[in-house]
Every structure is written in structure tokens, then in C-alpha cells.
A and B are shown apart, each in its own frame.
Chain A
Amino acid sequence: QVQLVQSGAEVKKPGASVKVSCKTSGSTFIGYYVHWVRQAPGQGLEWVGWINPANGGTNYAQNFQGRVTMTRDSSHSTVYMELSRLTSDDTAVYYCARETVSGGTWYPFDYWGQGTLVSVSS
């Protein structure tokens, strides 16, 4: 049973940073990319970026370049997304999601974490 389990809700002040974790279980940590997607209250889904847990490679959406950092701890099958210089516009639920990497083609997000609410308020 594949599971992505995220860390709990966070409340931050403007200008602060937040670090959200996503622990995978039920499958090998290697062989997948882990993407991060956010959803502001009442809004749609916005892709933030991905990390390749095998080698730590990353690809960030242009909107988040310079503010987001994705890392991994292979020994604990956990990936992290850190977002800095938070503003109220960053208030959202942040999801991690898994993409299979195989055969040089692309796959959608078949498993998702439960989401982590990040609230930014003074």
C-alpha cells in the first residue's frame, strides 16, 4: 500500500519560512519523482516543482524560483519542501504527489499526500 504522509499544519508570520515533509512508504523511494502542488483557499491546483529522490535533482516552477528548495533524506524515504519569504498569498494546502519514472516517458500523479495547510498571517 503506497502512502505519502505529510507533516502537520503550520502557521507562519509574513517573511518567515516553512518546511513541509512528505514521507513515502509501501514502495521503493527510488524510481519516482515527488512533485509539490499547492491549492489556495477556494482556488485551483498550482504546480510548485519536483524532486528526484534518487539524486536530489530538482525542477521548480518559475513562480517559485529563488524562494523554494526541495530536498530529500533517502535514509528516511522523506522529501522536504521549504518555502521562504512567505506572504499571505502563500496561504494554501500543499500536497506532495508521486510520479512514476520509467522508460523515458512521463506519467501523471498517481498517489498524493493528505495535504498540509500552511497559513501565513501577522
Chain B
Amino acid sequence: DIQMTQSPSSLSASVGDRVTITCRASQGISNYLAWYQQKPGKVPKLLIYAASTLQSGVPSRFSGSGSGTDFTLTISSLQPEDVATYYCQKYNSAPWTFGQGTQVEIK
């Protein structure tokens, strides 16, 4: 099975900072990579799919890049409402594996 590894596992940044989260697949997955945001006590929300396509309604400060095995989620200017755990997910075949998550906090 393909493993998905995120880094870092947590980060603390100031409002307005640029934040980058990486996700690495143990084998190539083309661009079948999604990013989800899960706020405390809430349901996961789709942010980005096809590695770089912003889901409708998602603020433009979120962006994604990458292909093959290495992917990045960037928040260009961190806002207080972005406090959440972010998960990457491969979705090209079973199993639909998630990364272990990256917890983002405000410094």
C-alpha cells in the first residue's frame, strides 16, 4: 500500500505568515492528491483536489502544488480562522490513505 507522510506534524505561526505543509507519497500518485481542513470538533472539509485545484468557496490564500510523490499546501497569509488540522489524501485507488495530519496553531 502507498503511504502518505506529512510534515511537520504541527506548527505555530503568526497571523499573516506564509505557512507550508508537505505531503510525500511512498509511490507516485500522479496528481490524485487532496487536502482537507478539519477544525476542532468539526467535519473535514475539502480544500484542494487534483493537487492544485481549489474547491469552490475556499479562500484564495490556500494553494496546492506538486505531482508524483511530493506535494505542498501553502497558506499565503495565515488567518485566525485557519487554526485546524490539515490532512492530505491519495485518492487514485484503494486504500484511500490519509496523511497523519498537520496541526496549525497561531503563535
Whether A59 lies near B91 (C-beta < 8 A) is no
Known: A47-B96, A95-B44, A114-B43. A108 touches B101 (CB 8 A): no
Known: A108-B46, A110-B55, A112-B43. A44 touches B87 (CB 8 A): yes
Whether B96 lies near A35 (C-beta < 8 A) is yes
Tell me, yes or no, whether B78 is within 8 Å of chain A by CB: no
Proximity bits, A83-96, B CB within 8 Å = 1, else 0: 00000000000010
Tell me, yes or no, whether B97 is within 8 Å of chain A by CB: yes
Q: Which residues of A contact B34 (CB under 8 A)?
A: 108-109
Q: Most B CB atoms within 10 A — which of A95, A97, A109?
A: A109
User: How far, in whole Å, are A115 and B43 apart by their CA atoms in the complex?
Assistant: 7
Interface residues of B (CB under 8 A from A): 1, 32, 34, 36, 38, 43-46, 49, 55, 87, 89, 91-101
